[in-house]
Amino acid sequence: MDKAQPNRRGFFKAVAIGSATAAAAVATTLAGERKHATGPAADGDPKQAGYRETAHIRNYYRTTQV
């Protein structure tokens, strides 16, 4: 039995650290995307935030109709 046996405590500790690291990476990425966004939604105007249907989108929807 010279082979080291992994213990449960170490496993769960590694999972917790990995999850926290992944969450921090996602949060940092999302914050960076919001910071570099352009247009009215980035200015904080709530009337302009959200989905905007443009001519390009209307054309796409028109081409997908059966």
pLDDT tens-digit map of 21-58: 999 888 888 776 665 555 555 555 666 667 788 899 89
Which residue has 């009337």 as its token pair?
A: 47
Distance CA 61, CA 31 (A): 30
What pLDDT does 21 receive? 93
Q: How far apart are CA 17 and CA 11, in angstroms?
A: 10
Write the CB contacts of 40 (distance below 8 Å, at least 6 apart in sequence).
48, 49
Q: Write down the pLDDT at residue 34.
A: 61
Enumerate the domain spans of the chain.
8-63
Is the pTM higher than 0.85? The answer reads: no
Residue with tokens 């010279």: 2
Residue 46: predicted pLDDT: 61
Is the pLDDT assigned to residue 13 strictly greater than 90? Answer: yes
